[in-house]
A and B are shown apart, each in its own frame.
Chain A
Amino acid sequence: MSYIVKPKFHHPQLQKNDLGYTRRDYEGTLTTLCGGCGHDSISAAIIHAVHEMSLAPHQIAKVSGIGCSSKIPSYFLERSHGFNSVHGRMPSIATGANLANRELYYLGISGDGDTASIGLGQFCHIVRRRINMLYIVANNGTYGLTKGQLSATADLGSKTKSGEESRYDNIDLVSLAIDLGASFVARSFSGDKEQLVPLIQAGLSHRGFALIDVISPCVTFNNTPLSAHGYKNTWENNVVLSEIDFVPMRKEITARYSAGKDKEITLHDGSVIHLHKTGSGHDPGNRENALLHVNEYKKQGKIATGLLYINQDQSDFHELADTVNKPFNRLNEHDLCPGGEVLADINETFM
């Protein structure tokens, strides 16, 4: 928690977005994470991304599990409702919340312990259920709050600060998600805001389940030169498979977009992603290709980042469940209750 109250000072010249909001309107309470924690960069990227897209903060619901990662929804989007649930169970909360109101944006924040260990089952099943949300994993390969145990995403041979070596193969969340049918899968690095911000924007705009696995170093327990999840290793071995620029719906192309675009993808809400060739030969529209590339680079000790896979043709849960357009939480007895006369007929069938 923050014992120090965050100052409410607003710079008079802070840039306003289409809704008239400045970045301050998208911030949260003061972070309590360690100085230099990758997770704070993720918070900053989220604030940047959502502000730039001009999303109304109250149209976003934040959900998380337990752990350092799951604390961060406090540190951004204070005007959004948030739900910090129990360890490994954010997917079920997100599923229920999404069922109750299909009109909001759902932003799930989880960590590698929360997603790849205690919550692996729920993670797999929310991917299968195709809940329309953006699921961000702040992945540091370690359990920070309990002081540095290895997590299931720690690479084989990776060492923590205390010298503990990971003796087991890691669980690779992007491969798993692609395999289970996620329709938007990306990996990024908390230190690469240029890459992360447009991915968050695209992930939020994507209709269906979107995953961004963000390598987010733990400066206190897992940032040694021998740690695969440390800053050094991630900077040195980051291979960008496909870079994107994001253009929010109904907006002129002004942002970071630069020359050299190879492909334009229009999302269901009208936003556009510009894909850039990086020389990797990667095609994010091809599922088998995506899996192959991710695994090839992994074998070489490299970390493939960028938009790894996207499929816009997949239905989301509500389409599959054939639910009404009006959010369930706005239906009342008039919409839902069949009434006494119908009940009398039902009674007849039990006589």
Chain B
Amino acid sequence: MSSRSQAASRKTGKTRKTAGVNNFVVKFANVNGSGSASANNLFAKAIFRMGIPVSPHNIFPSNIQGLPTWYEVRVNDKGFLGRREGVDLMVAVNEQTIVRDIESVIPDGFVLYDSSKALRPIRKDVNFLPIPLKDICLREFQHPGQRQLFQNIVYVGALAALLDIDFEILTGMISEQFRGKEKLILPNVHALELGYHYARDYFDCPLPIRLRPSRKARGKILMDGNTAIGLGCVYGGATVASWYPLTPSTSVVEAYGKYCKRLRIDPGTGKRKFAIVQAEDELAAIGIAIGAGWNGARAFTASSGPGVSLMQEFLGLAYFAEVPVVLFNIQRVGPSTGMPTRTQQGDLLSCAFASHGDTRQVLLFPSTPKECFEFAADSFDIADRLQTPVIVMSDLELGMNEHVCEPLEWEDARKYDRGKVLSGEQLEQLEEYGRYLDVDGDGVPWRTLPGAHPERGSYFTRGSSHDAMAAYTEDGNVYAEVMDRLARKFAGAGKVLPEPEVHAGGASRGMVYFGTTAGAIPEVRHKFDKRGVRLDTLRIRSYPFHDTVSRFIEEHEVVYVIEQNRDAQLKSLLKIDCGANDEKMRSVLSYNGVVISADQIQAAILADLPEIPEQEQVSA
């Protein structure tokens, strides 16, 4: 089974009876660099503020200005916020793509377009909502910039009428956004009103797809994963960030910097309790983080595929010399430059085995912004505890899109776990110190920091083969002992890593997944529940795998391994590490650059369930 499920899911659009109150997909087709992003965000956030679960997705080009860009917003009162196939309302304001955009609308769906220019009618089975956006703005605004920008605000105003968005929420957000630049508030509100009144005057408002205030998203936050990681690094005690700009990881360090400038200034001196180095390349970025980690500061870098490839040699050094360091890999589509602005879970194997020789790296797999925050903070404890690199595997979908999730939390009593570091006083008490002596039997040795003691505890860190005292050795047996200890340390790492999340009710079939696939899973389960098909689920949150993972695979007759890459990388890793039976593991794969949908997963699993008669699909 592979990703041919896309074909199956396309079919689902025809029979969908999904659209309704608090349940639809709106897609905006824009030109990038035209100011549409902030207007579209305004739209999504207003829905969120009405308490309705919403999931916006940016589908953007690797470009600064002039190319097509889309913003897809799913509204779902049940909280199913994975991507859904099919568009109920298309805001088609990009002439370059308008034909295809209109084609992607489901039958009886809606197309809002700029009628300042005539549109050749290309479909009869959709409803057109013509609004002369350009003409309205030419008439109402003098400034050329405003004439362009406010076209976006006008369509948001129209959508407010068409979909019943609380208008006061919209105007309130405008006031918030332009606090301090008050003279911009009035024209923005005016643009909203122009669209609102036009829609009220010319169309039947509201449409059958519309919004009703809800409590489902009340008390939650709408945040992107990279911001959450940046905050997690502040809370987790990171003081050194070294990086090289690379989409989609850039906003991690930007967020870290933004919060540090607010929260990490020494009140007495006004000086900074953090340092950010924009390095010359990713080799230097990880090198700086490793140098800082070696010297006892909490340090991280953030990157994506091409940068992580460059970091391989240093990751091997940190593994072998046992230096704590944290790398956030915000995965994008590879190989090579790939699709820089699209999402994928394609770096699983290259990160698990990063660098030459026998290496294994600790991986964490967050699936929500809240987990991004928690795992970011935890990763520093884990790296210190295990004295090894920790790679947090996020992706573009999680990192650069906003997601509804529970508010972030912090336990004030929490202390940083700095792991096994000997102080000068402790060294004073010791008879013998060896950097790589396994004194506790857990494979984790004790380290010392430069400057700790005038005469004791110094050692020579090296990527060359070394003995327990950190001295160079070419004795194969001594080398093997060190490698065996490292394997023991890795095997025991599970104790400090987040456990899998399991929903099991004795079903014979199960789904194993990780990261951003999680968005689709509640909906998949719901769809199968309705068909009377039970599926247990296990979400992997870390590598090396917890024992629970092997047990789950053993206990199920068939295990669907769902992941967003071509080569079934998680399945391979499960085979290698859990000795899982290849026969029972079936891959559900997606690698077209957009996050996997519940429809795709359902279609793929349905195709594997011959005993279930094909029926018309039941909507969520």
A contact residues vs B (CB 8 Å cutoff) = 1, 29, 56-59, 61, 63, 73-74, 78-86, 89, 91-101, 103-104, 121-122, 124-125, 129, 317-318, 321-325, 327-329, 331-333, 335-340, 342-344, 346-347, 350-351
Q: Tell me how far the C-beta of A100 lies from the nearest C-beta in chain B, rounded to whole angstroms.
A: 3
Q: A322-B271, A328-B239, A351-B221 are in contact. Are A96 and B454 (CB under 8 A)?
A: no
**A79 with B409: CB separation less than 8 A:** no
- The residue from B290, B291, B313, B455 contacting A58, defined by CB atoms under 8 A apart: B455
**B291 with A100: CB separation less than 8 A:** yes
**B449 with A329: CB separation less than 8 A:** yes
Residues of B within 8 A of A125 (CB): 279-280, 284
Q: A104-B451, A122-B280, A346-B231 are in contact. Are A61 and B460 (CB under 8 A)?
A: no
Q: A82-B461, A333-B237, A343-B409 are in contact. Are A96 and B290 (CB under 8 A)?
A: yes
- Judge whether B269 is part of the interface by a CB distance below 8 angstroms: yes
- The residue from B240, B287, B292, B455 contacting A79, defined by CB atoms under 8 A apart: B455
Q: How far is the CA of A122 from the CA of B314 in the complex (A)?
A: 14
**What are 27 residue pairs bridging A and B, where the CB atoms are less than 8 Å apart in the complex?**
A1-B474, A29-B471, A57-B454, A58-B450, A63-B291, A74-B472, A80-B458, A81-B450, A81-B451, A81-B461, A83-B460, A89-B284, A89-B287, A93-B288, A97-B295, A97-B450, A99-B277, A99-B299, A100-B293, A101-B295, A101-B451, A323-B275, A331-B239, A332-B416, A336-B237, A338-B235, A350-B221
Residues of A within 8 A of B280 (CB): 121-122, 124-125
**A324 with B240: CB separation less than 8 A:** no
**B461 with A89: CB separation less than 8 A:** no
Q: How far is the CA of A78 from the CA of B455 in the complex (A)?
A: 9
**B314 with A86: CB separation less than 8 A:** yes
Nearest first, the 10 A-B pairs at minimum CB distance are A96-B291, A92-B287, A329-B296, A100-B297, A100-B295, A96-B292, A81-B450, A93-B291, A1-B472, A350-B221
Q: How far is the CA of A122 from the CA of B280 in the complex (A)?
A: 7
Q: A94-B291, A96-B299 are in contact. Are A89 and B237 (CB under 8 A)?
A: no
- Judge whether B264 is part of the interface by a CB distance below 8 angstroms: yes
**B271 with A79: CB separation less than 8 A:** no
Residues of B within 8 A of A1 (CB): 471-474
- Judge whether B234 is part of the interface by a CB distance below 8 angstroms: yes
Q: Tell me how far the C-beta of A4 lies from the nearest C-beta in chain B, rounded to whole angstroms.
A: 13
Q: How far is the CA of A325 from the CA of B268 in the complex (A)?
A: 12
Q: How far is the CA of A56 from the CA of B274 in the complex (A)?
A: 28
Q: How far is the CA of A1 from the CA of B18 in the complex (A)?
A: 71
Q: Mark B117-154, 1 if CB is under 8 A from A, else 0.
A: 00000000000000000000000000000000000000
Q: How far is the CA of A343 from the CA of B228 in the complex (A)?
A: 11
Residues of B within 8 A of A92 (CB): 242, 279, 283-288, 290-291
Q: Count B interface residues, CB 8 Å.
A: 75
Q: A58-B451, A328-B297 are in contact. Are A96 and B460 (CB under 8 A)?
A: no
Residues of A within 8 A of B263 (CB): 338, 342
Q: Tell me how far the C-beta of A61 lies from the nearest C-beta in chain B, rounded to whole angstroms.
A: 4
Q: How far is the CA of A173 from the CA of B137 in the complex (A)?
A: 61
Residues of A within 8 A of B472 (CB): 1, 74
Q: How far is the CA of A91 from the CA of B222 in the complex (A)?
A: 40
**A346 with B408: CB separation less than 8 A:** yes
B219, B222, B277 — which one has the most chain A CB atoms within 10 A of its CB? B277
Residues of A within 8 A of B454 (CB): 56-58, 79
A95, A329, A335 — which one has the most chain B CB atoms within 10 A of its CB? A329
Q: A125-B279, A333-B414, A342-B263 are in contact. Are A61 and B463 (CB under 8 A)?
A: no
Q: A321-B275, A350-B222 are in contact. Are A336 and B239 (CB under 8 A)?
A: yes
Q: Tell me how far the C-beta of A95 lies from the nearest C-beta in chain B, rounded to whole angstroms.
A: 5
Residues of B within 8 A of A338 (CB): 234-235, 263-264
| Residue in A closest to B234 when the chains form the complex, CB atoms | A338
Residues of B within 8 A of A124 (CB): 280
- Judge whether B198 is part of the interface by a CB distance below 8 angstroms: no
Q: Mark B84-97, 1 if CB is under 8 A from A, else 0.
A: 00000000000000
Residues of B within 8 A of A340 (CB): 409-412
Residues of A within 8 A of B290 (CB): 85, 92-93, 96
Residues of B within 8 A of A339 (CB): 410, 412
**A83 with B222: CB separation less than 8 A:** no
Q: Tell me how far the C-beta of B411 lies from the nearest C-beta in chain A, rounded to whole angstroms.
A: 7
**B275 with A328: CB separation less than 8 A:** yes
**A86 with B461: CB separation less than 8 A:** no
Q: Tell me how far the C-beta of B74 lies from the nearest C-beta in chain A, rounded to whole angstroms.
A: 19
**A61 with B450: CB separation less than 8 A:** yes
Q: Tell me how far the C-beta of B424 lies from the nearest C-beta in chain A, rounded to whole angstroms.
A: 9
- Judge whether B415 is part of the interface by a CB distance below 8 angstroms: yes
- Judge whether B462 is part of the interface by a CB distance below 8 angstroms: yes
**B223 with A350: CB separation less than 8 A:** yes
- Judge whether B448 is part of the interface by a CB distance below 8 angstroms: yes
**A91 with B272: CB separation less than 8 A:** no
- Judge whether B398 is part of the interface by a CB distance below 8 angstroms: no
- Judge whether B453 is part of the interface by a CB distance below 8 angstroms: yes
